[in-house]
Chain A
Amino acid sequence: DTGVSQDPRHKITKRGQNVTFRCDPISEHNRLYWYRQTLGQGPEFLTYFQNEAQLEKSRLLSDRFSAERPKGSFSTLEIQRTEQGDSAMYLCASSPLTSGLNTEAFFGQGTRLTVV
């Protein structure tokens, strides 16, 4: 297992198009997170899965955004009708389910989205 994998690494799309990103977490990690990072800022939480259940969604996640994690393995993040403001780095992270509060998250390299 080489860590959290994200695909594609870069995506350029025209405004109004739909895009989909994929994240493959570390095997056996029950928790999966999506974050968005704009240039010069810290990552902002978008949504969180525990196995296949989506347990929390940020208010940043508008109706144009949808995320899934079928079968509790990989996850996809889809953005419909992209806008220039969606341009950002989309980061995926995973962590194991533990009995304590240990929340060490392992990050992928991200998908950089540019909307033109």
Chain B
Amino acid sequence: AQTVTQSQPEMSVQEAETVTLSCTYDTSESDYYLFWYKQPPSRQMILVIRQEAYKQQNATENRFSVNFQKAAKSFSLKISDSQLGDAAMYFCAYSWGAQKLVFGQGTRLTINP
């Protein structure tokens, strides 16, 4: 069975600094998708960034980038120039076969002004 592990329950960073959130996963599939979702307090979950496993190039979306290490089954999220609005729960997720998402336990990110 596929599993996703986030080993950092909480992280904090100073505004304008860079922070990296860790994620590891386990799967026997070769083609799959990995995601980082953001869940602000009392608000809906939104997609931050997506990585296709068959692509070697790491995905980037403005201040957000990933470090995808397929052999190590590692998928970390880097947030550059952290902003107060980045404060949220961040979930790493895995999907295969265009079906369900398997989520990690989440990392609560706090931005210190």
Q: How far is the CA of A43 from the CA of B95 in the complex (A)?
A: 13
Q: From DSSP, what is the main secondary structure of chain A's interface residues?
A: loop
B33 is contacted by which of A33, A48, A55, A103 (Cβ under 8 Å)? A103
Q: How far is the CA of A98 from the CA of B4 in the complex (A)?
A: 25
Complex interface: chain B residues within 8 A of A21 (CB):
none
For residue B93, give the distance in angstroms from its CB to the closest CB of chain A.
8
B104–A102 CB distance below 8 A? no
Q: Flag whether A110 is at the interface (Cβ < 8 A).
A: yes
Q: Flag whether A51 is at the interface (Cβ < 8 A).
A: no
Q: How far is the CA of A41 from the CA of B106 in the complex (A)?
A: 7
Q: Flag whether A85 is at the interface (Cβ < 8 A).
A: no
Complex interface: chain B residues within 8 A of A43 (CB):
45, 91, 101, 103
Interface size on B, residues (CB 8 A): 28
Q: How far is the CA of A4 from the CA of B43 in the complex (A)?
A: 12
Q: Flag whether B31 is at the interface (Cβ < 8 A).
A: yes
Tell me the chain A residues, 65-116 only, with Cβ under 8 Å from chain B: 91, 93, 95, 97-98, 100-110
Q: Flag whether B62 is at the interface (Cβ < 8 A).
A: no
Interface size on A, residues (CB 8 A): 30
Please, which residue of chain B has its CB at the minimum distance from the CB of A110?
Answer: B44
Tell me the chain B residues, 22-39 only, with Cβ under 8 Å from chain A: 31-33, 35, 37
21 of the cross-chain contacts (CB-CB < 8 Å) are A3-B44, A4-B44, A40-B105, A40-B106, A42-B4, A42-B103, A43-B101, A48-B100, A55-B99, A56-B100, A97-B98, A98-B98, A101-B32, A101-B95, A102-B33, A103-B99, A103-B101, A104-B47, A104-B50, A106-B47, A108-B44
Question: A-B pairs with the 8 shortest C-beta distances?
Answer: A42-B103, A107-B45, A45-B100, A103-B95, A109-B44, A107-B44, A103-B98, A43-B103
User: Which residues of A come within 8 Å of B, CB atoms?
Assistant: 3-4, 31, 33, 35, 40-45, 48, 55-56, 91, 93, 95, 97-98, 100-110
Known: A41-B105, A103-B101, A109-B43. 7 other contacts (CB 8 A): A35-B101, A55-B99, A91-B45, A95-B98, A97-B98, A102-B33, A107-B46
